[in-house]
Amino acid sequence: MSEKIKLHNGSIRVPDHPVIPCIEGDGTGPEIWAAASSVIDAAIAKVYNGTRRIDWLPVLAGERAYQETGSYLPNETLTAIKECVVAIKGPLGTPIGGGFRSINVTLRKELNLYACIRPVKWVPGTPSPVVRPDLVDIVIFRENIEDVYAGIEWPSDSGEAVKVTNYLNQEMNCRIPEGAGIGIKFLSKEGTERIMRKALQYAEENGRRIVTIVHKGNIMKYTEGAFKTWCYQLAKSEFGHIVITEEELAGKPLPAGKILINDRIADNMFQQILLRSGDYDILVCPNLNGDYLSDAIAAQVGGLGMAPGANVGDGVAIFEATHGNAPKYAGLDKVNPGSVILSAVMMLRYMHWHEAAEAVTTALTKTIQQKTVTYDLARGIEGAEELSTSQFAAAIIANL
């Protein structure tokens, strides 16, 4: 009998037959979701011999939701996710330069999913533009609610933009040209502390030894500079028994049981992840820095088709593809379902169904090493056999 996952004292209780809402997504979303869900269902059935299963609850968001309900994000969808605690989604479209705000951002705000968690690790056999992709094993903790993604902006020549421009120029001695579009970013102490706390909890629970704060505090001193300061303060006040800074370490080996806290300027970090990727373990970032870096690091391990993600708060978690909906490929049964499959693996680990998660990871790795892959990976693997989305899923299932 199906049951909902429950929260108890901050932890989840997962029944053997949990109900999990799923949003298939826009564009290529439906075919990606069909492939990914078939892999997950097959792995659970095989590993647990039928004693466990997921009862998927389809819910609407995006273009299909608007066509059927007149809303891009129906209240029923939000309610279902809140009640079921854990959900998964495919890619949703967002118009550029106009139209509705991002549904992804709206979901994060409405459900207070303040931590975007993106683990990036190379799957052996996956083509890469770098010499040592095996050194990449980094988890990005990206603050999800604040920074530029708060979406506080006004178009050029609007009454609001003119009012803000006049005030800043006249009262704050700024030099903003007339007719400029205006945007405001903010970073709060509360928002910073909770993303750093989440990252340090993850590091402690998963044996991660280095947590790096990524910021542009040399220029934006009172937002990103404050982000850096608040992160260090939180680490010392709540995790002082296990953390040590670079200055305190002074070049000595990291003691057993300790977690190193350091920080890097954002632009330098892009160089670091290419030249010294093995030196980094967990990155804690404001929203935009985390967005750029997660995509850049994913490029080293096969691209966004192999990059999972999750949006997590203190009560609800949504696991999702990190790439867009690729409408030009919609209906062609062509694109890589790997991002949703690996996001589902994250979800299974979150549910403590580790055996199923490991089975999927092993089968996916074997399938790639057999050089039977979708087009995005095939073009980088000599002698590869190019498979469709559905064929790739079938090959993974055969390797379970």
Query: Is 21 annotated to bind ligand?
Result: no
Question: Is 221 part of the annotated catalytic residue set?
Answer: no
Locate the DSSP E strands across the chain: 3-4, 6-8, 11-13, 18-23, 55-58, 86-89, 115-121, 137-143, 152-154, 182-184, 210-215, 243-245, 259-265, 282-285, 308-312, 317-321, 372-373, 385-386
CA–CA separation, 313 and 155 (whole Å): 32
Q: What are the b/e assignments for 243-276, b being 16+ CB within 10 Å?
A: bbeeeeeeeeeeeeeebbbbbbbbeebbebbeee
| 267 is a catalytic site residue | yes
User: Which is the catalytic residue, given 16, 55, 157, 267?
Assistant: 267
Give DSSP secondary structure letters for 350-362. HTT-HHHHHHHHH
The catalytic position among 26, 72, 89, 149 is: 149
Q: Is 149 marked active-site?
A: yes
**SS3 at position 183:** strand
Helix (H, G, I), strand (E, B) or coil at 12: strand
Whether 53 has a binding-site annotation, put simply, is: no
Q: 310 a known binding residue?
A: no
Which member of 291, 333, 350, 376 is catalytic? 291
Catalytic residue, from 89, 216, 228, 334: name it. 216
Concerning whether 216 is annotated as a catalytic residue, the answer is: yes
Q: Is 289 annotated as a binding residue?
A: no
- Does the annotation place 375 within a ligand binding site? yes
User: How many angstroms separate the CA atoms of 328 and 322, rounded?
Assistant: 17
132 is in an annotated binding site: no
Is residue 142 a known part of a binding site? yes
Consult the annotation and say whether 329 binds a ligand.
yes
Q: Is residue 399 annotated as involved in ligand binding?
A: no
**Six-digit token string for 55:** 């009862």
> Which residues are paired to 184 by β-bridges?
152
Q: Is 379 annotated for ligand binding?
A: yes
> Annotated binding site for NADP(+), which residues?
323-329, 336, 375, 379
Catalytic residues: 149, 216, 267, 291
> Annotated binding site for D-threo-isocitrate, which residues?
102, 104, 108, 118, 142
> Annotated binding site, which residues?
102, 104, 108, 118, 142, 291, 323-329, 336, 375, 379
> Annotated binding site for Mg(2+), which residues?
291
